[in-house]
């Protein structure tokens, strides 16, 4: 007979779920995976970007649905608290997940002293806060995720200070080292040098946003961008899609609704430059078995086209569910360098050409095979030579136009930031918007920001007061820029 000793515990077992442990004991490494996917799929490449792509005219809203209303600048669609409620909630939920990871890295937490994980959390947290405040302006931040039921709204300049503190702290933690995250990190597989590069690149981006408020910031932006390059940063992508049901968010959205197509604004720039990316951007697409191949590019603001279904050409990458999505592209980093140097009167040509080359590679990697086009040995070099006169005549203008073309792929949120930033800094943007509905009867109908999410408008009196009531509800979207674009909120 084998004696079995059963230890009895005084701890009550009633109503305690032993099979599903609480989030407090779940390893934060498992949570960082979800945070990375949510950051890209829901925050950077979801409805925020789909709507904004019409504002920037990088894509055309069609299909007689939501983006049709955006394309014709229906004010109620662009200023309603319900328009971005899902994205508002998703971003705050993702931030909550990240803050929980941070708490687990503290002393006594399940991930105590795992500095690599903490640095990743802080970098992603900075990116999520940056996205929210860039789009919405002043937002609840400092009092979130605690016991306060109605967090106050923080000013954007204060939130930006928090973003910089997070990125600086991330660098300190990366320097401490660690090898705990590994394959749970879908972005860099635990490579801390690349994470250091991403944190530097993000700091360069957010510092550049403040240029209108601080003209002395450009040299610091250059320093951060160069630090990113020195760390070996060559871009950050989420590349987990296979196109067989596991599709990227842009393709999934297009295939499910077919609400987006190619825009004449972008296509004209490409045609004028005899750009090798044009056949990838403006693909004649056969929507269905009995639907002929279309050959129409969307004219911004055209109501008839916006109401059509399955009638507008598309960028080829929309028909590639396996295409990777950007967190921060290589081309953006070098365009940032080129812009800063051009503004300072320095030689920016090498950075400009590196940025354009990275963009062309990106277009062909994600849409070339779909469009049936390939890069030749001289495609890029010939194109760069063809840009010589345009760049020579006005380096800054061609830098910003090429950045606009590059970010048409899936970085429209940053283009939206560039447009608002440059209009405040320079009085205009370098790509002319042509949608006639942007101004109606002398009133601006081009959103200067996005409205707050409905969940907080109805439950947080601070957000409700900022959103407004009655006929004025959401009207600030068209009249009040965010802080770094010259506004007060």
310 lies in some domain: no
- Contact 36/238 with Cβ under 8 angstroms? yes
pLDDT of residue 289: 72
348 lies in some domain: yes
The alpha carbons of the chain give a radius of gyration, in whole angstroms, of: 24
Distances (CA, A) of 370 to 166, 283, 312, 316, 363: 40, 9, 17, 6, 11
The pair of structure tokens assigned to 409 is: 């792929």
pLDDT of residue 7: 39
**Spatial CB neighbours of 224, under 8 Å, sequence gap ≥ 6:** 200, 201, 203, 204, 207
pLDDT of residue 5: 36
296 lies in some domain: no
User: Could you tell me how far CA 351 lies from the centroid of its own chain?
Assistant: 22
Tell me which H or E stretch contains 443: strand 443-444
Alpha-carbon torsion angle 445, 406, 89, 104, nearest 10: -150
438 lies in some domain: yes
Neighbouring CB atoms inside 10 A of 300's CB total 26
pLDDT of residue 25: 74
Domain CATH for 339: 1.25.40.390
pLDDT of residue 6: 36
- Contact 70/54 with Cβ under 8 angstroms? yes
- Residue in the structure block whose two tokens are 């295409």: 323
pLDDT of residue 32: 96
273 lies in some domain: no
Domain of residue 452 covers 25-244+322-485
- Contact 50/67 with Cβ under 8 angstroms? yes
The count of structural domains within the chain is 1
The pair of structure tokens assigned to 79 is: 């200023």
259 lies in some domain: no
1 lies in some domain: no
pLDDT, tens digit only, all 489 positions of the chain: 333 333 344 555 555 565 666 666 789 999 999 999 999 999 999 999 999 999 999 999 999 989 999 999 999 999 999 999 999 999 999 999 999 999 999 999 999 999 999 999 999 999 999 999 999 999 999 999 999 999 999 999 999 999 999 999 999 999 998 888 999 999 999 999 999 999 999 999 999 999 999 999 999 999 999 999 999 999 999 999 998 889 999 999 999 989 999 999 999 999 999 999 999 999 999 887 777 788 899 999 999 999 998 899 999 999 999 999 999 999 999 999 999 999 999 999 999 999 999 999 999 999 999 999 999 999 999 999 999 999 999 999 999 999 999 999 999 999 999 999 999 999 999 999 999 999 999 999 999 999 999 999 999 999 999 999 988 899 999 999 999 999 999
d(CA 164, CA 488) in angstroms, rounded, equals 20
- Angle, alpha carbons 426-430-434 (nearest 5°): 120
d(CA 3, CA 394) in angstroms, rounded, equals 88
13 lies in some domain: no
- Contact 151/104 with Cβ under 8 angstroms? no
């Amino acid at each position: 007979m084998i004696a079995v000793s059963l230890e009895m515990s005084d701890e009550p077992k009633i109503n305690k779920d032993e099979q599903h442990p609480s989030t407090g004991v779940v390893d934060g490494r498992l949570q960082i995976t979800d945070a990375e996917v949510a950051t890209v799929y829901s925050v950077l490449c979801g409805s925020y970007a789909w709507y904004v792509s019409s504002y920037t005219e990088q894509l055309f809203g069609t299909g007689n649905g939501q983006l049709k209303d955006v394309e014709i600048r229906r004010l109620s669609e662009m200023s309603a608290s319900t328009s971005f409620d899902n994205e508002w909630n998703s971003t705050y939920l993702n931030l909550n997940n990240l803050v929980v990871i941070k708490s687990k890295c503290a002393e006594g937490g399940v991930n105590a002293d795992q500095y690599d994980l903490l640095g990743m959390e802080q970098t992603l947290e900075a990116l999520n806060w940056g996205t929210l405040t860039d789009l919405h302006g002043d937002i609840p931040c400092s009092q979130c995720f605690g016991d306060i039921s109605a967090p106050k709204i923080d000013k954007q300049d204060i939130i930006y200070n928090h973003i910089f503190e997070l990125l600086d702290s991330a660098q300190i933690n990366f320097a401490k080292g660690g090898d705990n995250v590994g394959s749970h990190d879908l972005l860099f597989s635990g490579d801390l040098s690349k994470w250091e590069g991403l944190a530097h690149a993000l700091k360069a981006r957010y510092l550049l946003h403040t240029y209108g408020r601080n003209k002395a910031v450009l040299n610091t932006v250059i320093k951060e961008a160069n630090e990113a390059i020195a760390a070996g940063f060559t871009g950050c992508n989420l590349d987990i899609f296979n196109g067989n049901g596991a599709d990227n968010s842009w393709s999934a959205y297009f295939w499910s609704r077919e609400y987006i197509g190619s825009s004449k604004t972008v296509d004209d720039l490409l045609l004028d430059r005899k750009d090798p990316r044009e056949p990838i951007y403006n693909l004649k697409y056969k929507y269905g078995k009995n639907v002929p191949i279309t050959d129409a590019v969307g004219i911004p603001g055209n109501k008839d086209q916006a109401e059509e279904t399955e009638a507008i050409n598309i960028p080829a990458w929309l028909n590639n569910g396996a295409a990777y999505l950007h967190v921060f592209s290589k081309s953006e980093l070098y365009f940032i360098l080129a812009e800063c140097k051009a503004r300072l009167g320095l030689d920016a040509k090498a950075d400009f050409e590196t940025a354009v080359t990275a963009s062309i590679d990106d277009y062909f990697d994600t849409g070339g095979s779909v469009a049936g086009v390939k890069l030749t040995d001289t495609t890029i070099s010939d194109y760069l030579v063809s840009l010589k006169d345009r760049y020579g005549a006005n380096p800054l203008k061609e830098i910003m136009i090429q950045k606009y073309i590059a970010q048409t792929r899936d970085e429209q949120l940053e283009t939206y930031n560039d447009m608002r930033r440059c209009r405040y800094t320079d009085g205009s943007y370098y790509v002319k918007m042509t949608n006639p509905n942007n101004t109606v009867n002398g009133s601006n109908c081009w959103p200067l920001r996005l409205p707050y999410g409905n969940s907080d408008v109805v439950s947080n009196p601070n957000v409700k007061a900022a959103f407004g009531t009655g006929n004025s509800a959401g009207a600030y979207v068209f009249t009040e820029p965010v802080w770094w674009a010259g506004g007060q909120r």
